[in-house]
Structure 1
Amino acid sequence: MTPEETVSYLDAKLLKAQRHLRKLDAYYEGEQPLRFLALELKQEFGERLAEMVINWPEMVADAYEARLDLTGFRFPGSTSNGVDVDEADADVWGIWQDNDMDRQAPQAHLESIALGRAYAIVGARGALVQGPPGADGDADDPFDEDTDSPLITVEHPTQCITEQDPRTRQPVSALKRWKDADGVQRATLYLPDSTRHFVRARRWVEQDRDEHRLGVVPVVPLVNRGRLLKHDGRSEFASVIPIADAANKMATDMMVSGEFHAMPRRWAMGMAREDFEDEDGNEISPFEQIAGRIWAHPKKPGEVAVGQFPESDLAVFHNTIRVLAQLAAQLAALPPHYMSFTTDNPASADAIRSSEAQMVKRVERKQTGLGADWRRVMAIALRIRDGEGWDKRARRMKVVWRDASTPTVAQAADAAVKKRQQGITTLRQTRIDLGYSPEEIRRMEEEDDLEAARDPVRQIAAELAADRPVTPPAEEPETAGVG
């Protein structure tokens, strides 16, 4: 296909996917319509019937995203393209921080979990990356002047789409489509050798292009639960949606019952409508279904009788919602204490860890998939920045994640220290296991060197701990005698 045909094809594919994505987004935001409710009931109560939304989809997505914390990158071996591996690690982490990925990456993870996928786009900073200069508001960013790092952005799946090669499973083309503040529809087409920018009038018209000659599409899908024949991923709460709809319906019914049945209702026999007046003498209707009103029957021969209906118990709604919560927790692999339907006795730490095992394993699977995606993003970023051939070590670098389980700080520290004492790990690896960032570890090592310089014994111990050759302490300069 020509570039114009490719834009039209991907545009149609994106529009087709948007309906389902907007539905999932509405469920995450708690804006979904109420299901299982009789149409007659809606018509009778009108605006007085407010929807009661228990937003379990949001809770499921947030619970998984909260355990996905990327903490660094590690190159294999001792050097990368002749550069010390520690410096290479810090170099990649610098690109990550230059792009504010500490904030962007969690957003990408959340969109991927909630909607099934998100996207990361890599390009040269200051070049035509997302559109013509000024089209996306990033061309004149003053912070860009202080860095030569490539530009990395994360994109929402309602604005971005890819077409994959069935053999390599990698994108062969990608499209980002958006509408600017003036209402003009714009699109950027990403191809292996060029990036082309289009504007829509009656059809898509190319405005400009960037011949980057990368050989790959600089767009990486971040897919959640992708399958062999379903590359676009699946929302983590897709199976919870029908149960959430049922829970919202039961919660709404509970509120209606609380209004009309849980409060005592009085009745009167032998009294007509005209017997009821307000304080101004105006006739009021006793038949309106509002709490506190009296139900009455017209006059008949005999005495007037009054009474009260027994109020309804709402426990049936509580129990139903509780069962639905248990089903949702089972499908989403959430621990029981997340849904708060456990007993009053607090569970032990071992019991809590056991209940989280299935969820932790799912998160670790996500770390593996997302790690491969972020590794590809950073490999493309290094290729764009250096302008040379691909660094094979960058393609094999390790993405470091924070532990997906919930060990206490004392437990993590105790395990790390014991490994260090037994000689299983080095001091640097111990600090990595404790969750310190590369920058924090670097500062600790600088402080270790300063302390060692002031204390020869500590210098020898630090060099032994780091497996470096021991440097003999500097001799004290001879002091000339006083004659």
Structure 2
Amino acid sequence: MPQPPAVQSPEWWRDRLYAALCKRTEQTNVYDAYYECEHPLPFLHEKARDPFRRLLKMSRANYMELVVDALVGRLEVAGFQSDAEGGSDDEAWALWQDNNLDGGSQLGFLEAAIRGTSYLMVSPVEGGYRITPEHPTQVITESAPGSPGELAAALKLWMDDWTGRLCCTVYLPGNIYKFDAREPQAGGKPVWERRAVAGEDWGGKNVLGDVPFGELSNRPRMLKPGASELRSVTGIQDRINKTIADRMMTQEAAAFPAKWATGLEIPTDENGQEIEPFDVAVNKILIAEEAGAKFGQFAAADLTGYLKAKEADVHDIAAITSTPPHYLLGSMVNLSAEALKAAEAGLIHKIYQRRRFLEEGLERTMRLAGIASSQARIVWKSPEWRTEGELVDALVKMSTLGVPREVLWERWGATPQEIERWRRLNEEALQRAMSSDLAAEYGPKPPPDPDDDPQVE
């Protein structure tokens, strides 16, 4: 029997992190399926499933996507800002733009909201650094015991479609180790081998001197990792789907009033089979020759209870996730600006909370890329939506209190780059105005016009 690898050896970290990654992926696949509207079909008795399968598939109304997108849509990095001289904020923003992180960061925030965490990877390249968003089913990190902020190791896992091999890389602060294996059978474990790369020594040096990942964690706790935004509401989504399925089956079977007749002799065909005596339609009249014949109809099924039950469940989702109800219900009737602001207060508060933990991963990423976070802090776009009239009125009042102009621009929502450009344009305009005034005061003056001199006749 082979001996287990030594603790903290590359093989030990590989097996440990691979097992943890597989376990987390299995758990978070559930939330990914709910976001993608791949909900489990509502429960029905086994005998009724086949006839109503089409209705069951139509019953899935995806509120989980709305919950996630309401949060992620307002998480947007506007730039970097520093108080130190030297332009570190410009350097950080240039690095951000060179790596297309306007879109890349949004991908990371989205996966973090769905699965609880995602990553940004920093890779040294010639002349700088490459930063890429990494999926939480392919990357996992682990901190040193007793030091939550100090990463001890990381694993990156992927399937090489060209070779059909399962590949992984173990990142330690000092070295990088690469492995591959045949794709394991269902339920089996991969048999790893050292992966040779042309021009590289196995176990090459990690030039960063640190684990090259920044973790974007969503709603973490002190002894627990990040959690999905959907963790508490998938059950409510199932209730909604069940209510919709029941309503649709009721519509199918009892939403139209059924007719009845008594006192009639039902005719039969030559085989003794009863013949339907009437062809009911909007433009036809029912006539019976029997004196005791009576006609009537049953009341149509009332769907109000189903609609109210669904609306109550949607309100539960809104309350638990701090999502404004009008986002989920799609109804905005005579709502004032104050009412809308109050409805979004919970979402805004949640966004500020989520940003605090996302900033930790972003700042670590920038530090790994050589940008000191203390000199280039992250500036977010405001998550609050206000009318221009409200905003301008507030800024004018702030200006009367002596608030600096650059601060007012920032409150307006201008990015650090826009603020710098506006400041430069103001300075240039001021210099032109000063030059014009000096020229008018001290420059050469035209000779006097004799017509204006009273002494000249």
Match of 1:200 in 2: 181
Letter in 2 for 1:196: Y
Cα distance, 1:315 vs. partner? 0.7
C-alpha distance in 2 between matches for 1:310 and 1:398: 67
Match of 1:176 in 2: 156
1:357 equivalent to 2:335? Answer: no
Q: Sort the Cα spacing of 1:48 and 1:336 in 2 relative to 1 into closer, same or farther, 3 A.
A: closer
1:78 equivalent to 2:78? Answer: no
1:90 equivalent to 2:69? Answer: no
C-alpha distance in 1 between matches for 2:235 and 2:112: 20
5+ residue gaps in structure 2?
1-7, 183-190, 198-202, 282-290, 448-457
Contact 1:189 1:195 in 2 (8 A): yes
Match of 1:372 in 2: 360
1:290-439 → structure 2 map (5 Å cutoff): 308-340=297-329, 344=333, 346-382=334-370, 391=372, 394-395=373-374, 397-425=376-404, 427-439=405-417
C-alpha distance in 2 between matches for 1:239 and 1:449: 54
C-alpha distance in 2 between matches for 1:229 and 1:330: 26
Cα distance, 1:434 vs. partner? 1.4
Contact 2:52 2:249 in 1 (8 A): no
1:228 equivalent to 2:234? Answer: no
Letter in 2 for 1:32: H
Letter in 1 for 2:354: K
Runs of 4+ in 1 over 4 A off after TM superposition: 46-49, 267-277, 283-286, 302-307, 472-481
| Aligned residue-pair number | 412
C-alpha distance in 2 between matches for 1:31 and 1:249: 14
1:188 equivalent to 2:169? Answer: yes
Q: 3-state DSSP class of the match of 2:228? A: coil
Contact 1:10 1:175 in 2 (8 A): yes
1:452 equivalent to 2:446? Answer: no
5+ residue gaps in structure 1?
127-147, 278-282, 293-301, 384-390, 460-471
Match of 2:288 in 1: none
Bigger drift between 209-218 and 107-116 goes to: 209-218
Match of 2:284 in 1: none
Q: Please, what TM-score do these two structures have when normalized by structure 1?
A: 0.76
1:136-175 → structure 2 map (5 Å cutoff): 148-170=127-149, 171-175=151-155
Select the residue among 4, 19, 28 that pairs with 2:26: 19
Cα distance, 1:403 vs. partner? 1.9
Q: 3-state DSSP class of the match of 2:174? A: coil
Q: How much is the aligned-residue C-alpha RMSD, in angstroms?
A: 3.4
Q: 3-state DSSP class of the match of 2:147? A: coil
Match of 2:232 in 1: 239
Cα distance, 1:360 vs. partner? 1.3
C-alpha distance in 1 between matches for 2:320 and 2:361: 26
C-alpha distance in 2 between matches for 1:372 and 1:478: 62
C-alpha distance in 1 between matches for 2:221 and 2:374: 23
Q: Sort the Cα spacing of 1:431 and 1:412 in 2 relative to 1 into closer, same or farther, 3 A.
A: same
1:65 equivalent to 2:72? Answer: yes
Contact 2:92 2:366 in 1 (8 A): yes
- Deviation digits for residues 344-366 of structure 1, max 9, x if unmatched? 4x222112212222221111111
- Deviation digits for residues 94-151 of structure 1, max 9, x if unmatched? 101111111011111111111111111111136xxxxxxxxxxxxxxxxxxxxx3411
- Deviation digits for residues 66-117 of structure 1, max 9, x if unmatched? 2212111222x433xxx2xxx2111101101111111011111111111111
Q: 3-state DSSP class of the match of 1:37? A: coil
Match of 2:211 in 1: 217
Q: Sort the Cα spacing of 1:429 and 1:251 in 2 relative to 1 into closer, same or farther, 3 A.
A: same
- Deviation digits for residues 435-466 of structure 1, max 9, x if unmatched? 1123322332332233223211899xxxxxxx
Q: Please, what TM-score do these two structures have when normalized by structure 2?
A: 0.81
Q: Sort the Cα spacing of 1:11 and 1:256 in 2 relative to 1 into closer, same or farther, 3 A.
A: same
Q: 3-state DSSP class of the match of 2:255? A: coil
Q: Sort the Cα spacing of 1:477 and 1:181 in 2 relative to 1 into closer, same or farther, 3 A.
A: farther
Cα distance, 1:381 vs. partner? 0.8
Letter in 2 for 1:105: S
Cα distance, 1:423 vs. partner? 1.7
Q: 3-state DSSP class of the match of 1:320? A: helix
Q: 3-state DSSP class of the match of 1:415? A: helix
C-alpha distance in 2 between matches for 1:313 and 1:197: 64
